[in-house]
Amino acid sequence: MPERIVVGTDGSECADLAVDWAADEAARRGRPLHIVHAAAVWPYAFGAPAYAPVQVDDHAAASGRKAVTDAERRASDGRPGLEVTTAVVADAVPVVLRREAEGAYELVLGSRGLGGFRGLLLGSNGLRLAGHLPVPVVIVRGRGDGEEIVVGVDLLRGMEATLEYAFDAALLHKARLRVVHAWRLPPSMQPAVTAADHARTREELGESLAGVVAPWRARHPEIEVIEELPCAQPVAALADAARNARLLVVGAHRHRRPLPALGAVGHGAVHHAPCPIAVIPSP
């Protein structure tokens, strides 16, 4: 059975966008869709034993059932062959989503929502999930109606998983792929750098970027690929490149930890990109 796509919902408008995106993705990829809601639990059971069952009030349970029922109806509408399952699980939001996404193809989240999802982008839940899960995490901001897939490339790190996801997305959506490596010279060096130095550095970076992308171009000659080397702050460059994008793809990298971590560029992209963002863990 194909790995499922998991989407979290709380019934909010942003969650609806995430459900729409995830349902389209599942239908295109021929994968089942699993819709999950984390039901609020009473957090102040002081003195209760660690093995005691969590307590969920009737209102939270009913609200959760309505959220997944509405989301299931939304996902199935216009997608007759899509297999959809749902779950309402009583536990903290990150715990539930981490557990439900285990072994999934990817996890899809809205940019912000109600209840446990409030401030998802700005708070710790979404950032922890996007930076520390072993599966891709897609945070849906807007509908992603653009014409391109944009991928940010770090020439100092392995980008195999990130480029594989980006090329696959471009193939899936029949979209042009824009590969972006933003670079800047340290401010302390700039007074001594000549125009020739700048041009030579850009040329060398261009050769490195072309070398990284070349194997993927060879595998997918049907995809139009544009390589871009803006001399700019990386987050600003990616946000600018993603203005007309269907999806922005960035990598999370291992830093001597068992799981990937969302670096400064990925963190900034999650906050500022104007389209859905896929955060891809390194293997």
pLDDT value at 85 more than 90? yes
Strand partners, 35: 7, 86
Q: Residue 222 carries which side chain, given as an amino acid letter?
A: E
Least-confidence region, from 59-73, 165-179, 242-256:
242-256
pLDDT of residue 217: 97
- Regarding predicted confidence, which is higher, 86 or 121? 86
Determine the average pLDDT of the residues in 124-152: 81
pLDDT value at 151 more than 70? yes
pLDDT of residue 136: 94
pLDDT single digits (tens) 34-72? 999 988 666 555 454 554 445 556 667 788 899 999 999
| Of 106, 243, 241, nearest in space to 172 by CA | 106
**Cα gap 58→89, rounded to integer Å:** 13
Question: What are the tokens at 140?
Answer: 């849906």
pLDDT more than 90, % of the chain: 51
Residue 213 · residue 164 · CB < 8 Å? no
pLDDT value at 74 more than 50? yes
**Kind of pairing, strands 148-152 and 245-252?**
parallel
**Cα gap 139→15, rounded to integer Å:** 10
- Regarding predicted confidence, which is higher, 59 or 124? 59
pLDDT of residue 117: 42
pLDDT confidence bin for 185, thresholds 50/70/90: confident
Question: What are the tokens at 103?
Answer: 């072994």
Sign of the Cα torsion 217, 221, 222, 228 reads positive
Determine the average pLDDT of the residues in 267-279: 83
Question: How large is the C-alpha radius of gyration of the chain?
Answer: 21
pLDDT value at 122 more than 50? no
| Sheet with 245-252, edge to edge strand ranges | 84-90, 33-39, 5-8, 106-110, 137-140, 277-281, 245-252, 148-152, 176-180, 225-228
Structural domains of the chain sorted by starting position, each given as residue range(s) with its CATH number in brackets = 5-140 (3.40.50.620), 148-281 (3.40.50.620)
**Cα gap 241→245, rounded to integer Å:** 7
Residue 31 · residue 133 · CB < 8 Å? no
- Regarding predicted confidence, which is higher, 176 or 113? 176
pLDDT of residue 119: 38
Residue 107 · residue 135 · CB < 8 Å? yes
DSSP 96-140: HHHHHTTT-SEEEEESS-SGGGTTTTTSHHHHHHHHH-SS-EEEE
pLDDT of residue 6: 97
**Cα gap 281→250, rounded to integer Å:** 9
pLDDT single digits (tens) 196-224? 877 888 899 999 999 999 999 999 999 99
What are the respective helix, strand and coil percentages of the chain, to the nearest 5?
A: 40, 20, 40
What does the angle CA 177 – CA 127 – CA 124 come to, to the nearest 5 degrees? 160
